[in-house]
Structure 1
Amino acid sequence: MSGMWDDLVGQSAAIETMRQAATAAHDRTSAPGAMTHSWLITGPPGSGRSNLAYAFAAALLGDGPDSDPATIRQVVARTHPDLAVLSTEKVIISIDEVRTLVTSSQYSPSVSNYRVMVIEDADRMTERTSNLLLKALEEPPPRTVWILCAPSDADLLPTIRSRVRTVRLRIPEAEDVADLLVARDGVERGVALAAAREAQSHIGMARRLAKNPDARERRAETLRLALGLRSVPSAVEAAARLVELAKADAESTSAERDAAEREQLLRTLGIEPGGTIPPALRSQVKALEDDQKRRSTRSLRDGIDRILLDYLSLYRDILLRQLGAEVPLMNSSVSTELEAAALAGTAAHTLEVMDAVAAARRRIEANVPPALALEAMLVSAARKGAA
């Protein structure tokens, strides 16, 4: 079990809270009030929300905070009979998915003391879907524990927030993320630290940047596009290129997985590789393809949002240089260009461009076509001259 806790970087307070709860769950004489049946884990992307949720789940399904290896393996593989998980890679969690999970939550544990229900990305539920979940949170069976994960408690309905105990994760220090990459993945220290800073301490993204040269080059090109803005036409061209880069990044992460899922489905259906799919089975293959398309849509939106977060870090570096602050750069690989950009603009203009980046994120979240939102943002940056 220690390995699961160790994957959480810089979250000692949250870990202690969950370990105390797990101890209380198995020992009624300890830490009164430490355990409850509905939890919400919040924190920025990459802070380890789901890692903490599954470490806590393993502790509940096993014998306590330091659970047995067999339980840990089942939780990691999501195969434990008393663990139910709702993890979507679509834009919205459907009401039918939550209805199925709520029905499952009424079952009694089969091999453990508890039945644990985990919802990742609980912020992707609509109000109607949230109200369905609310009924389950209000009167859970005595041996059922709900664990929700979301970026912020503000992303959930007030009625949901009032039924859960919230554990907040913080953004880990870049040095701590680098230490994890060095110890766990064997990454060279300098590369690990640069990746951690560029990823803004997002552990998964830092690992990808540290180990994937193509991902590093795509990110570097996005920065060069922003730093090279000189006119409105160049901003329009840059917006189109950003969408292309986000698509390439999404495809690089999903292509291999999509192929493996299709191969697994065909094998399950008894179809040889390259064989003809019988008409009676085509609907199942079509359903998989539809799911993969929806996942691709979310991956593209997530990729564009990462680009916008990178831009916020870029303009943050420019702003700090304009203000004369002597702090480490997040984007040290383009330090020369950053210094030039800082001299060419003003702090007021840079703040206005950062506002434009934040507005682009809100517009995309509200389903404005990404190309239009990016174009408006970059045109604003070109006109302000902050780049």
Structure 2
Amino acid sequence: MIDGIWSQVVGQPEAIAILRSAAAAAASIVDGSGSGSGMIHAWLFTGPPGSGRSVAARAFAGALECATGRGCGECPGCRTTITGTHADVRLVVPEGLSISVAEMRALVQTSARRPTGGRWQVVIIEDADRLTEGAANALLKCIEEPPERTVFLLCAPSDHPDDVPVTIRSRCRPVALRTPSATAIAEVLQLRDGIDADTARWAASVCGGHVGRARRLATDPAARDRRAAVLRIPLHLRRLSDVFECADDLVKTAEADATEVSERRDDAEKEALKTAMGYGGTGKGAAAASRGSAGAIKELEKRQKSRATRTQRDALDLALVDLAGFYRDVLVAGSRSTAVLTHPDHAADVAKAAGAWTPESTLRRLEAVLACREAIELNVKPRIAVEAMLTALYRG
């Protein structure tokens, strides 16, 4: 297993080799011991969902800030970068549906400063495909003429590469990640998270190559229950009424997940903002401060609503990915292929469906699931999209 900070990056030996070499070149620039050939100021990490794009970016950022230049994982630069507390490493995680131009302009302005205590000023942008046109243009200007000691690390899914403007992609060095193997995922679950071998192997085999999903399935009984409920749907659609019951369950579960994630955080954010704005105070000027805080609170609530919408969509999309995997497995079983199943623990249900459905009807069902994912991404109401999909699944 790879040591140091790179142990965080699962199943990506080729990418690690590239990043290690670049980190060494960056260290030679800071130390004045070399030309820094191989180190550039803008990187684009791409890969399928769950491949660890942001994890790889954080590990690279830690190596850039590492006192040894190798990513030892022990020095303050490495530790504070991984924990998210390094003063010169900024992480942009879009909580809503997009990254606004105002947010990007503020970030670009900050990134122009020299490092305060570290070796580099590092900006990590998760889901760079969510940049609005204005935000992309603001970032482009900074990437074209980057500050001397600033590095931009952009992350984007490889299934939608065109969502990152070509003007930005052409100025970044690409780092392509792949889906990690089940063996690599199981190993990291055991060594890093202390999960027993049987559970780790099971979670790794059913997570679809998504390291974070494997960890949730291995440690969270509720996540396992939600997955099991989704995979019961294909063989449960016996009557038209089942369509609406299953649609209601899917949407309500996604809404509940979004509420659970957002509720506590929303209240804490609102109270913190009110306190900062002097809301509820009794001293001189308190009334004016309270009136002035109303606009800021309204803006915060708008961002929170957008974040909740994204969280709900993500939870629903995860269920749809599991459904798509089931129908893919049915096609695999029906063709007598030796390909590995997405849901090996549901092989009996897959075999039953393969014996009952024609390949054509299975393919239509799979296409219905994929169409539902696309419809939700295009802002179709989730309930309408899900009911249309389940009706198609029922009809076959």
Matched, 1:83 2:89: yes
Residues 66-77 of structure 1: pairs in structure 2 closer than 5 A: 66-67=71-72, 69-77=75-83
2:47–2:176 contact (8 Å) kept in structure 1 = yes
Which of structure 1's runs of 4+ aligned residues deviate more than 6 A? 29-32, 266-272
CA distance in 1, matches of 2:212, 2:278: 36
CA distance in 2, matches of 1:62, 1:32: 16
Q: TM-score, normalised by structure 1?
A: 0.90
Partner of residue 49 from structure 2, selected from 40, 45, 48: 45
CA distance in 1, matches of 2:268, 2:180: 33
Secondary structure in 2 aligned to 1:150?
strand
1:232–1:383 contact (8 Å) kept in structure 2 = no
1:236–1:375 contact (8 Å) kept in structure 2 = yes
- State the Cα deviation string for residues 96-147 of structure 1 (Å, max 9, x = none): 1111111112112222332111111100012232122111111111211111
Secondary structure in 1 aligned to 2:153?
strand
| 1:53/1:107 CA distance change after superposition, 3 Å | same
| 1:62/1:212 CA distance change after superposition, 3 Å | same
- State the Cα deviation string for residues 358-378 of structure 1 (Å, max 9, x = none): 111111111111112112211
Partner of residue 334 from structure 1, selected from 343, 346, 351: 346
Following TM superposition, by how much is the alpha carbon of 1:73 offset from its aligned partner in structure 2, in angstroms?
2.7
Write the letter of the residue equivalent to 1:65. R
2:100–2:134 contact (8 Å) kept in structure 1 = no
Matched, 1:99 2:105: yes
Following TM superposition, by how much is the alpha carbon of 1:286 offset from its aligned partner in structure 2, in angstroms?
5.1
Deviates more, 1:218-227 or 1:289-298: 289-298
Residues 112-261 of structure 1: pairs in structure 2 closer than 5 A: 112-152=118-158, 153-258=161-266, 261=269
Following TM superposition, by how much is the alpha carbon of 1:236 offset from its aligned partner in structure 2, in angstroms?
3.0
Residues 361-380 of structure 1: pairs in structure 2 closer than 5 A: 361-380=373-392
Write the letter of the residue equivalent to 2:309. T
Matched, 1:60 2:64: yes
CA distance in 2, matches of 1:3, 1:382: 51
Q: Which 5+ residue runs of structure 2 have no aligned equivalent?
A: 281-286
- State the Cα deviation string for residues 71-114 of structure 1 (Å, max 9, x = none): 12321333322222221111111111111111112112222332
| 1:183/1:50 CA distance change after superposition, 3 Å | same
CA distance in 2, matches of 1:178, 1:270: 50
CA distance in 2, matches of 1:197, 1:30: 45
Secondary structure in 2 aligned to 1:172?
coil
Following TM superposition, by how much is the alpha carbon of 1:291 offset from its aligned partner in structure 2, in angstroms?
3.2
How large is the RMSD of aligned CA atoms in angstroms? 2.6
CA distance in 2, matches of 1:288, 1:205: 29
Write the letter of the residue equivalent to 1:58. G
1:86–1:97 contact (8 Å) kept in structure 2 = no
Secondary structure in 1 aligned to 2:155?
strand
Q: TM-score, normalised by structure 2?
A: 0.88
| 1:287/1:2 CA distance change after superposition, 3 Å | farther
CA distance in 1, matches of 2:328, 2:260: 29
1:60–1:113 contact (8 Å) kept in structure 2 = yes
2:59–2:71 contact (8 Å) kept in structure 1 = no
Partner of residue 332 from structure 2, selected from 320, 343, 351: 320
Following TM superposition, by how much is the alpha carbon of 1:168 offset from its aligned partner in structure 2, in angstroms?
0.6
CA distance in 2, matches of 1:370, 1:325: 34
CA distance in 2, matches of 1:292, 1:331: 35
| 1:177/1:243 CA distance change after superposition, 3 Å | same
Write the letter of the residue equivalent to 1:59. A
1:54–1:75 contact (8 Å) kept in structure 2 = yes
Secondary structure in 2 aligned to 1:133?
helix
2:279–2:290 contact (8 Å) kept in structure 1 = no
CA distance in 2, matches of 1:195, 1:262: 37
1:23–1:30 contact (8 Å) kept in structure 2 = no
Secondary structure in 2 aligned to 1:359?
helix
| 1:227/1:268 CA distance change after superposition, 3 Å | farther
Write the letter of the residue equivalent to 2:372. A
Deviates more, 1:249-258 or 1:227-236: 249-258
Write the letter of the residue equivalent to 1:43. G
Q: Which 5+ residue runs of structure 1 have no aligned equivalent?
A: none
Secondary structure in 1 aligned to 2:154?
strand
CA distance in 2, matches of 1:343, 1:246: 32
CA distance in 2, matches of 1:44, 1:190: 26
Following TM superposition, by how much is the alpha carbon of 1:262 offset from its aligned partner in structure 2, in angstroms?
5.5
2:48–2:157 contact (8 Å) kept in structure 1 = yes
| 1:136/1:319 CA distance change after superposition, 3 Å | same
Deviates more, 1:226-235 or 1:316-325: 226-235
Matched, 1:35 2:58: no
| 1:189/1:97 CA distance change after superposition, 3 Å | same
Partner of residue 372 from structure 2, selected from 327, 347, 360: 360
CA distance in 1, matches of 2:98, 2:36: 37
CA distance in 1, matches of 2:223, 2:277: 35
Following TM superposition, by how much is the alpha carbon of 1:162 offset from its aligned partner in structure 2, in angstroms?
0.7
CA distance in 1, matches of 2:83, 2:232: 40
- State the Cα deviation string for residues 220-265 of structure 1 (Å, max 9, x = none): 1111123211244422332222101212233344445445555666
Following TM superposition, by how much is the alpha carbon of 1:330 offset from its aligned partner in structure 2, in angstroms?
2.7
Instruction: Tell me the residue number matched to 2:284.
Output: none
| 1:181/1:254 CA distance change after superposition, 3 Å | farther
Write the letter of the residue equivalent to 2:44. L
